[in-house]
Amino acid sequence: GHVARILEEECAELKAENVEGRKTTPVGVTIVELDEPLPDVTQPTIRRRGAVLLDLIPIAASISTSYLCFTAQDYFAGSLILLGVVASGFTSIVLQSSRLTFTHPIAAVGSPNGDGILTGDREVIIVKGKEDSVNAITRGRFTLRFNSDIGYALLKASSYLYTIQFLLQLLLVPQSTFYGQLLFLASIAVSLAYGVYLMSLDNGKIQRRVFMESVLNKPTMRKYALGTRTSMAVFALLVMKPINPEKHLEELLPNDTKVWKTWKENVLTKIRAREPLRFQVDKADLTEPELNLLKTLYSDAQSAYTAFELESARSRKSF
């Protein structure tokens, strides 16, 4: 969903701790720790530095040009500019009466930790926390809420006001003086320049900042760069400690050849027993190419265990 993509973009920009080992298709694995349960409804706030002063520029320009039109006795142009100020101000008031709201489903009482994983081609996110917190990322959404039905009616009224303003411009601008028309165009130019400025802002970064700070309360995040998807899969299992590790391993690595089955069985045995991932290669009935592949896969698992030891040490330091 949209919320998961916001988190993925945020994790993609994190600096990763490189893990030694074989490298084919590097994958970044970010661990996000949500320590406190998140409320089912949050109203995040959006702040821009210097926003108030910048917002005053088009208002001041419109009022000034309207005043100049009235002093020149061009009431058509002055009234149109003033109507634009009223329409913009009315819409702004209506929108400010609404609240940006983030909601997500609440888990049942007594639910265990809901550690989850979000997988992509080059980025994997492991979310650790209560079920409510994980729901916020996997099933949360942003909405714009009004305090009552009156808010929706006022929003519709503001759209009608803009329509009336547009029609009056078609009728009255040709009736204005040349001086008034120039001032009218000047006010529009300032408003357009302000609109271009707003469009130039990195809205994606603003969304991420609001989500990470106001919704997730600046969670602890640690990122590792593993060289292969095999290492990533093993590292994810070690970090998550799922009840059914074999199910997760099959989802992450669906390979089912003889070598892969042997490797999976040995890795899962050590994970269940919480033993270090150190392996002795059993030649058994494997051919030379199969034996080489098994050694390579064991090496990937050992790299994942090295990353897990590093993560365990860093996790202890954060407390």
Q: How many whole angstroms separate alpha carbon 211 and alpha carbon 204?
A: 11
Query: Using an 8 Å Cβ cutoff, are 171 and 34 in contact?
Result: no
Q: How many whole angstroms separate alpha carbon 275 and alpha carbon 289?
A: 28
> Tell me, what's the pLDDT at 74?
92
> Tell me, what's the pLDDT at 306?
92
> Tell me, what's the pLDDT at 260?
92
> Tell me, what's the pLDDT at 305?
93
Q: How many whole angstroms separate alpha carbon 45 and alpha carbon 215?
A: 9
Which residue has 């330091």 as its token pair? 317
Query: Using an 8 Å Cβ cutoff, are 149 and 98 in contact?
Result: no
Q: How many whole angstroms separate alpha carbon 98 and alpha carbon 147?
A: 7
Q: Retrieve residue 278's tokens.
A: 């150190």
> Tell me, what's the pLDDT at 215?
77
> Tell me, what's the pLDDT at 228?
92
- In this structure, the number of other CB atoms found within 10 A of the CB of residue 242 comes to 16
pTM above 0.85, yes or no: no
Listing DSSP states for 237-279 in one string gives: HHHH--S-HHHHHHHH----SHHHHHHHHHHHHHHHTT-----
pLDDT, tens only, 211-229: 777 777 888 889 999 999 9
Residue 310 burial (10 A CB sphere; 0-12, 13-18, 19+): middle
> Tell me, what's the pLDDT at 140?
75
> Tell me, what's the pLDDT at 196?
83
Residue 1 burial (10 A CB sphere; 0-12, 13-18, 19+): exposed
Neighbour order of strands in the sheet with 116-119: 17-18, 220-226, 27-34, 123-129, 116-119
Q: How many whole angstroms separate alpha carbon 151 and alpha carbon 202?
A: 29
> Tell me, what's the pLDDT at 178?
93
Low-confidence ranges of the chain (pLDDT < 50): 319
